[in-house]
Chain A
């Protein structure tokens, strides 16, 4: 099954990536390849570099790539602006979605969706057509229409913010989605909604990277690969049972890998 997947070209290739912020090295040679249809989980302690990796792939300006490459659909994207990466199909689901006061969620979603559609040479949607589309997508995350008239993420509960992220993913239809602790701060019901949303959106052509601390999301969305990160490196890669083992033994167990290697 897996060998069959790999007959197609990879979506994302992170090759020996090192990066720093304020001259402080954060990533120290990370390599990761995602093929269409694959789900990868990245686990590890706080501060191990998981979130940084996701931000660098999305193009956050605070980080400098000091070595290595990020390739998306075979093209090097090291120097692309964040908006260009998004338009071409990279999606980052934020751990802490940002509040933008005064900007209506509906308008934000529409401008965002249209930027992706423009890239795909699809017709841009006016307010009316967009309302139709968004109504359909709201279903996926079981969100109320009133969400749209509020300011972007402002005053949203933790769960609402995360569902808004998944709504954006549903609208942008990315080639690869990196979901940074999308499960944190969610109660069981919200977690199910988010997980089922992710499953509905993803397909055999998309890749997903789940950054998480917990097994419970991985119970809902079974990963093909689990990577354990520590101190800016992937120190172990396994299959879904690695996450279970990690849950059982704790991160202390992974400290031994560092000693071993």
Chain B
């Protein structure tokens, strides 16, 4: 009783990344048709194979229906009312950071991602994407010395066309789903990573996605290739200004791991979530998939999803190579009127493949948080194993949590284990911590971090600390 009142009094922490950068942009007219796609391709001076790829995807998309199976409710998206390309106006060819508009550098500075030589983060190489284009990529020279390619996908198309042609769309084909098809038709920028054989990437790689424009969508595309016996850890962060309209974000991420290669992909997603009444916020429809092509290859997804009005996201692993390993560690937090339908697919194709799923959903306010996951054992997946653990935590009495686990096994000689739990932060737990002198809000955030610990342990260190803080911030004032 006392707590509920306290909760209502607590000030809500404003979204601190909600500012808009006032910059002149080049935006193409709203609408989607073949001419628009040709225009995007032309602006990016793309080779023919890519334009064909886009047009084919667009044809498929036109025949597809927006999926409605997720436990999400939202206003119909008008795909003709979106601008599919928005870029800050700057010089045609930028050869160094000095030529980048200071306003852009300042924006990333404010977001805690300094890009300039003097201030750049020391252990992480960053690709900074602003609306539809990549602004800068740091540490390129140092990485090149190891043979690592880290650049925007637009540049990769120009300089490493063979790799793009070979791998683009091989993990997530354009026909995969409605949003993947849309992305394949109109994607503008994103990151490209190539780790050559035997190389352990000397530093973490990171992309930071910033949506600035209110009425253009962001459709980024990321492709990571890890050759034999190589390894890389890749981080992704996202923020957007506060607009009272919904902005569409439909990304595609493809990972490919060859023999003995390992890719660790971590996301902290903090897109603008809309206000308390559910006005505004990003619609986040993302297709992320990794292909463990090689023997003993490993792909590990970790995600901390705290933002977006709508999250529709299932980072998945196709386990083809013998003894390959897929992992999915997720914390999804929803508050106010946010909705999340997120989970993973672990498709065991090769023998002795292993997958682990740990999902922690936290629902506060009037939000809706669903875990949806598929574990499939194919006919050849002998001796394969999966372990899934899906826990939900409810905060307050108006939030909801769902778990939809799908299990399909065509291989009797395989093991699938699924555990699920739901808990609520109880008044007794809060009182216990308070009666030890711990403030109410700190008590809540201690319990939430405790609940998420299995997942935070999987995040790169700086990320884990950031995620912890982010959750505490997001929950402020939400507990009753």
A83 to chain B, nearest CB (A): 5
- List B residues 418-462 near A (Cβ within 8 Å): 423, 426-429, 431-440, 442, 446-447, 449-454
Q: What chain B residues lie within 8 Å of A86 (beta carbons)?
A: 434-437
Contacts A61-B2, A61-B3, A98-B429 known; A83 to B435 CB distance under 8 Å? yes
A33 to chain B, nearest CB (A): 22
- List A residues 99-142 near B (Cβ within 8 Å): 100-104, 107-108, 111-112, 115-116, 119
Tally chain B residues at the interface, Cβ within 8 Å.
27
Tell me which of A58, A81, A116 has the highest count of chain B C-beta atoms within 10 A of its own C-beta. Answer: A81
CB-nearest residue of chain B relative to A116? B437
Query: Pick the contact of B429 from A100, A104, A119 — CB < 8 Å?
Result: A100
Alpha-carbon distance between A111 and B436 when the two chains are bound, in angstroms: 9
- List A residues 64-107 near B (Cβ within 8 Å): 81-83, 85-87, 92, 94, 97-98, 100-104, 107
Tell me which of A62, A94, A100 has the highest count of chain B C-beta atoms within 10 A of its own C-beta. Answer: A100
B356 to chain A, nearest CB (A): 18
Query: Pick the contact of B447 from A87, A102, A111, A168 — CB < 8 Å?
Result: A102
Is B429 a contact of A115 with CB atoms below 8 Å? Answer: no
Is A100 a contact of B432 with CB atoms below 8 Å? Answer: yes
Q: What chain B residues lie within 8 Å of A172 (beta carbons)?
A: 436-437
Say whether A60 faces chain B, with CB atoms less than 8 Å apart: yes
Is A151 a contact of B440 with CB atoms below 8 Å? Answer: no
Alpha-carbon distance between A98 and B431 when the two chains are bound, in angstroms: 9
- List B residues 398-430 near A (Cβ within 8 Å): 423, 426-429
Q: What chain A residues lie within 8 Å of B449 (beta carbons)?
A: 102-103
Q: What chain B residues lie within 8 Å of A59 (beta carbons)?
A: 434-435
Is B1 a contact of A81 with CB atoms below 8 Å? Answer: no
Q: What chain A residues lie within 8 Å of B2 (beta carbons)?
A: 61, 81
Is A83 a contact of B447 with CB atoms below 8 Å? Answer: no
Is B446 a contact of A83 with CB atoms below 8 Å? Answer: no
Alpha-carbon distance between A87 and B2 when the two chains are bound, in angstroms: 19
Alpha-carbon distance between A60 and B2 when the two chains are bound, in angstroms: 9
Q: What chain B residues lie within 8 Å of A116 (beta carbons)?
A: 437
CB-nearest residue of chain B relative to A115? B437
A32 to chain B, nearest CB (A): 19
Is A98 a contact of B432 with CB atoms below 8 Å? Answer: yes
Tell me which of B432, B435, B437, B451 has the highest count of chain A C-beta atoms within 10 A of its own C-beta. Answer: B437
Binary contact readout B122-135 vs A (1 if CB under 8 angstroms, 0 otherwise): 00000000000000
Alpha-carbon distance between A168 and B433 when the two chains are bound, in angstroms: 12
Q: What chain A residues lie within 8 Å of B428 (beta carbons)?
A: 98
Q: What chain B residues lie within 8 Å of A100 (beta carbons)?
A: 429, 432-433, 446-447, 450
Query: Pick the contact of A83 from B1, B423, B437, B450 — CB < 8 Å?
Result: B437
Tell me which of B423, B429, B449 has the highest count of chain A C-beta atoms within 10 A of its own C-beta. Answer: B429
Contacts A61-B2, A102-B450 known; A115 to B433 CB distance under 8 Å? no
Q: What chain B residues lie within 8 Å of A92 (beta carbons)?
A: 435
Alpha-carbon distance between A104 and B453 when the two chains are bound, in angstroms: 10
Alpha-carbon distance between A172 and B440 when the two chains are bound, in angstroms: 18
Alpha-carbon distance between A94 and B436 when the two chains are bound, in angstroms: 11
Q: What chain A residues lie within 8 Å of B1 (beta carbons)?
A: 61-62
Is A115 a contact of B432 with CB atoms below 8 Å? Answer: no
Tell me which of B442, B446, B451, B454 has the highest count of chain A C-beta atoms within 10 A of its own C-beta. Answer: B446
A16 to chain B, nearest CB (A): 22
CB-nearest residue of chain B relative to A81? B434
Alpha-carbon distance between A35 and B426 when the two chains are bound, in angstroms: 35
A228 to chain B, nearest CB (A): 26
Q: What chain B residues lie within 8 Å of A98 (beta carbons)?
A: 426, 428-429, 431-432
Is B440 a contact of A111 with CB atoms below 8 Å? Answer: no
Alpha-carbon distance between A172 and B447 when the two chains are bound, in angstroms: 21
Is B431 a contact of A102 with CB atoms below 8 Å? Answer: no
B330 to chain A, nearest CB (A): 16
Alpha-carbon distance between A83 and B3 when the two chains are bound, in angstroms: 12
Alpha-carbon distance between A151 and B450 when the two chains are bound, in angstroms: 9
Binary contact readout A27-60 vs B (1 if CB under 8 angstroms, 0 otherwise): 0000000000000000000000000000000111
Contacts A60-B431, A61-B431, A62-B427 known; A101 to B437 CB distance under 8 Å? no
CB-nearest residue of chain B relative to A21? B1
A240 to chain B, nearest CB (A): 29
Alpha-carbon distance between A82 and B434 when the two chains are bound, in angstroms: 6
Binary contact readout B105-139 vs A (1 if CB under 8 angstroms, 0 otherwise): 00000000000000000000000000000000000
Query: Pick the contact of B440 from A58, A81, A97, A104 — CB < 8 Å?
Result: A81
Alpha-carbon distance between A69 and B438 when the two chains are bound, in angstroms: 24
Q: What chain A residues lie within 8 Å of B3 (beta carbons)?
A: 61
CB-nearest residue of chain A relative to B6? A81
CB-nearest residue of chain A relative to B437? A115
Alpha-carbon distance between A83 and B2 when the two chains are bound, in angstroms: 13
Is A103 a contact of B450 with CB atoms below 8 Å? Answer: yes
Binary contact readout B236-265 vs A (1 if CB under 8 angstroms, 0 otherwise): 000000000000000000000000000000
Is B436 a contact of A115 with CB atoms below 8 Å? Answer: yes
Q: What chain B residues lie within 8 Å of A107 (beta carbons)?
A: 446
A211 to chain B, nearest CB (A): 15
A130 to chain B, nearest CB (A): 14
CB-nearest residue of chain B relative to A101? B450
Q: What chain B residues lie within 8 Å of A97 (beta carbons)?
A: 432
Contacts A61-B1, A102-B453 known; A108 to B436 CB distance under 8 Å? yes
Tell me which of B434, B442, B454 has the highest count of chain A C-beta atoms within 10 A of its own C-beta. Answer: B434
A109 to chain B, nearest CB (A): 8
Alpha-carbon distance between A87 and B439 when the two chains are bound, in angstroms: 10
B459 to chain A, nearest CB (A): 15
Alpha-carbon distance between A38 and B192 when the two chains are bound, in angstroms: 72
B117 to chain A, nearest CB (A): 35
Is A112 a contact of B438 with CB atoms below 8 Å? Answer: yes
B306 to chain A, nearest CB (A): 18
CB-nearest residue of chain A relative to B442? A111
- List B residues 1-60 near A (Cβ within 8 Å): 1-3
Q: What chain B residues lie within 8 Å of A111 (beta carbons)?
A: 438, 442, 446
Query: Contacts A108-B436, A112-B438 given; 17 further ones with Cβ under 8 A?
Result: A60-B431, A61-B2, A62-B427, A81-B434, A83-B434, A85-B435, A98-B429, A100-B433, A101-B451, A102-B451, A102-B453, A104-B450, A112-B436, A115-B436, A115-B439, A168-B436, A172-B437
A–B complex contacts, Cβ < 8 Å, 18 sampled: A61-B2, A61-B3, A61-B431, A83-B436, A83-B438, A97-B432, A98-B428, A100-B429, A100-B432, A100-B446, A102-B449, A102-B450, A103-B446, A103-B447, A111-B438, A111-B442, A112-B438, A115-B437
The 9 A-B residue pairs with the shortest CB-CB distance, nearest first, are: A102-B450, A115-B437, A61-B2, A103-B450, A86-B437, A98-B432, A112-B436, A82-B434, A87-B437
Q: B residues touching A (Cβ–Cβ < 8 Å)?
A: 1-3, 423, 426-429, 431-440, 442, 446-447, 449-454
